């Protein structure tokens, strides 16, 4: 190897190191999200990631003076990703539960919700009473998944088919491969509002509250919780509700009320 070639290789490595480091510079906060979870986090017509929770996280990051990157992650993978440190936090209309609080942390909630049953308008299904022997779709590991398993005998449900998000479930519902889809009511109401072939036929009361999820005991959870408190007091989250759902949030809901950070047992 000549001196000239050695110099050239050394210079090339230095240039790659300079620009390569810039290209792969990580954001301050990596946020796992099941992209396609309308209206919480999804891609708009231009391919930009948007949604209620995306707007909320971007504002939180701005208040903390941090940059943010959204990492598309299947819902069921969010838990292991946050626990292993592959992501700093997770969103996707994640319900706070006592069981989950055993292994992860949450900031205070910002949305109250229930589950729902969605069917095709042509199916003639009017509610859960008509789901005997029918195939039901759910999101893997979701509250809807847990609800369906717990109430299979009560409603004599047929097979439970699991999906990684709303879009593939809707494709199978419209194609007749599943008879009904159980998932979060705000997402389904938003999705079905301009699709007359679909109907949200029953609200399933579950008393859920959504929040941002963190690894157990991560100090970032308390930092974010403090920002959420401020955003509620300023009316920012209530305004997000109006923007995304076209209705004012009730004063009694966690969208408006400052609440304690859930601690679990």
1, part of any domain: no
94, part of any domain: yes
Task: Tell which of 183, 203, 223 closes a domain.
Answer: 203
The pLDDT of residue 22 is above 70: no
178, part of any domain: yes
Q: What is the pLDDT of residues 90-102, one digit of tens each?
A: 999 999 999 999 9
pLDDT band at 159 (very low <50, low <70, confident <90, very high): very high
Within this chain, do residues 98 and 213 fall inside the same structural domain, yes or no?
Answer: yes
Within this chain, do residues 222 and 182 fall inside the same structural domain, yes or no?
Answer: no
Show the domain range for 104: 29-112+208-245
* pLDDT value of position 18: 40
pLDDT band at 10 (very low <50, low <70, confident <90, very high): very low
Task: Give me the CATH number covering residue 233.
Answer: 3.40.190.10
pLDDT band at 129 (very low <50, low <70, confident <90, very high): very high
Within this chain, do residues 196 and 130 fall inside the same structural domain, yes or no?
Answer: yes
pLDDT band at 258 (very low <50, low <70, confident <90, very high): very high
Joined tokens for residue 175: 């194609």
Joined tokens for residue 101: 């609080």
Q: What is the pLDDT of residues 25-76, one digit of tens each?
A: 689 999 999 998 989 999 999 999 999 999 999 999 999 999 999 999 999 9
* pLDDT value of position 247: 82
- Count of domains for the chain: 2
238, part of any domain: yes
Within this chain, do residues 53 and 78 fall inside the same structural domain, yes or no?
Answer: yes
Closest CA to 237 of 65, 74, 63, 101: 63
* pLDDT value of position 255: 97
Within this chain, do residues 33 and 108 fall inside the same structural domain, yes or no?
Answer: yes
Within this chain, do residues 108 and 34 fall inside the same structural domain, yes or no?
Answer: yes
């Amino acid at each position: 190897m000549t001196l000239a070639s050695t110099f050239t290789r050394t210079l090339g490595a230095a240039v790659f190191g300079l620009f390569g480091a810039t290209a792969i510079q990580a954001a301050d906060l990596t946020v796992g999200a099941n992209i396609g979870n309308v209206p919480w986090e999804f891609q708009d017509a231009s391919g930009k990631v948007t949604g209620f929770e995306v707007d909320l996280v971007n504002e939180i990051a701005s208040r903390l003076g941090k940059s943010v990157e959204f990492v598309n992650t299947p819902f069921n993978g969010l838990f292991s990703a946050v626990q292993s440190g592959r992501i700093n936090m997770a969103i996707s209309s994640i319900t706070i539960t006592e069981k989950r609080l055993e292994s992860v942390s949450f900031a205070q909630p910002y949305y109250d919700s229930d589950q729902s049953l969605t069917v095709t308008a042509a199916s003639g299904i009017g509610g859960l009473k008509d789901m005997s022997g029918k195939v039901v779709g759910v999101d893997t590991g979701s509250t809807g998944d847990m609800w369906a398993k717990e109430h299979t005998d009560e409603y004599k449900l047929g097979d439970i088919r699991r999906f990684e998000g709303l879009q593939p479930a809707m494709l199978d519902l419209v194609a007749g491969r599943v008879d009904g889809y159980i998932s979060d009511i705000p997402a389904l109401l938003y999705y079905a509002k301009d699709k007359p072939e679909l109907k949200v036929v029953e609200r399933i009361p579950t008393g859920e509250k959504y929040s941002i999820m963190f690894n157990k005991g991560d100090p970032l959870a308390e930092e974010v919780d403090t920002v959420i408190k401020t955003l509620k007091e300023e009316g920012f989250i209530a305004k997000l509700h109006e923007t995304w759902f076209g209705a004012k949030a009730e004063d009694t809901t966690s969208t408006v009320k400052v609440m304690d950070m859930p601690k679990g047992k």
